[in-house]
Structure 1
Amino acid sequence: MALSFFSRSSQKSQPASGADGVLSLPSARAILLSSVGCMMVLSLLMVASASIPFALSRGMSELYFFEHQLLYMGIGLIAAAIPYYFVPLKTLYQTETQFILLGVTGALLIATLFGTPINGSKRWLNLGVINFQVAELAKLVVIVFVADFVVRRSFEVRNGWDGFLRISLVIGLLTFLLLLQPDFGSLVVIVGTVFAIFYIAGAPYKQFVALGAVVGVLGVLAVTMVQYRLTRVLSFLDPFDDIQDTDYQLARSLIAFGRGQFTGVGYGESVQKLSHLPEAHTDFLLAITGEELGFVGVTMILILEALIIGSAMRISYNALKRRQMRMSYTAFGIGIIFIAQTIINAAMNMGAMPTKGLTMPFFSYGGSSMLISLVMVALLLKIYKESPEIEKSQCRYF
Structure 2
Amino acid sequence: MAKDTANASGYTSNALSKRKQKSTGVFSMPSAGSVLITSVSCLMVLSLIMVASASIPFANMHDIEQLYFFKHQLMYMGLGLVAGLMVYKVRLLWLYDMFTLVSALLIVIALLLATLMFGDAINGSKRWIELGPFNFQVAELAKLVMVMFTADFVVRRGTEVRHGYGGIFRMGAVVTILVGLFLSQPDFGSLVIIIGVILAIFFVAGAPWSQSGLLLLFGLVGAAYAVMFQEYRMTRASSFLDPFDDIQGSDYQLARSLIAFGRGEVTGVGYGESVQKLAHLPEAHTDFLLAITAEELGFVGVMTVLVLEALVIASAMRISYIALKNRQMRLSYTAFGFAVIFIGQGVINAGMNMGLMPTKGLTLPFFSYGGSSMLISLMMVGILLNIHKKTSKIPAAQCRHY
Same topology, TM > 0.5:
yes
Q: For the residues of structure 1 that align with 2:167 and 2:197, how far apart are their CA atoms? A: 16
Q: For the residues of structure 2 that align with 1:259 and 1:111, how far apart are their CA atoms? A: 44
Q: Displacement of 1:242 after TM fit? A: 0.5
The reply on whether 1:104 has 2:86 as its aligned counterpart is no
Secondary structure at 1:124 match in 2: strand
Compute the RMSD of aligned alpha carbons. Answer: 1.6
The correspondence of residues 267-278 of structure 1 with structure 2, limited to 5 A, is: 267-278=271-282
CA contact (8 A) 2:199 2:215 kept: no
Q: For the residues of structure 1 that align with 2:255 and 2:133, how far apart are their CA atoms? A: 34
The reply on whether 1:394 has 2:394 as its aligned counterpart is no
The correspondence of residues 67-216 of structure 1 with structure 2, limited to 5 A, is: 67-85=71-89, 87-114=90-117, 115-216=119-220
1:191-220 per-residue CA deviation (whole Å, 9 max, x = no partner) reads 000011011100000112222122111111
Aligned AA for 1:175? V
Q: For the residues of structure 2 that align with 1:33 and 1:19, how far apart are their CA atoms? A: 25
The reply on whether 1:265 has 2:232 as its aligned counterpart is no
Residue equivalent to 1:43: 47
Q: For the residues of structure 1 that align with 2:25 and 2:264, how far apart are their CA atoms? A: 43
Identity across aligned pairs (percent)?
63
Secondary structure at 1:123 match in 2: strand
Q: Displacement of 1:281 after TM fit? A: 0.1
Q: For the residues of structure 2 that align with 1:354 and 1:335, how far apart are their CA atoms? A: 22
Q: Where in structure 2 are there 5+ consecutive unaligned residues?
A: 1-17
Q: For the residues of structure 1 that align with 2:321 and 2:124, how far apart are their CA atoms? A: 42
Secondary structure at 1:122 match in 2: strand
Q: Displacement of 1:128 after TM fit? A: 3.7
Q: Where in structure 1 are there 5+ consecutive unaligned residues?
A: 1-13
Q: For the residues of structure 2 that align with 1:341 and 1:22, how far apart are their CA atoms? A: 38
Q: For the residues of structure 2 that align with 1:359 and 1:37, how far apart are their CA atoms? A: 17
Aligned AA for 1:112? T
Secondary structure at 2:248 match in 1: coil
Aligned AA for 1:304? L
2:228 counterpart (224, 227, 230): 224
1:340-394 per-residue CA deviation (whole Å, 9 max, x = no partner) reads 0000000010000000000000000010000000000000000011111111111
Q: For the residues of structure 1 that align with 2:94 and 2:43, how far apart are their CA atoms? A: 31
1:127-154 per-residue CA deviation (whole Å, 9 max, x = no partner) reads 2432100000000000000000000000
Number of aligned residue pairs: give it: 383
Q: Displacement of 1:252 after TM fit? A: 0.2
The correspondence of residues 315-330 of structure 1 with structure 2, limited to 5 A, is: 315-330=319-334
Q: For the residues of structure 2 that align with 1:206 and 1:232, how far apart are their CA atoms? A: 32
Aligned AA for 2:336? F
* CA 272–96 in structure 1, closer or farther in 2 if over 3 Å, else same: same
Q: For the residues of structure 1 that align with 2:215 and 2:231, how far apart are their CA atoms? A: 25
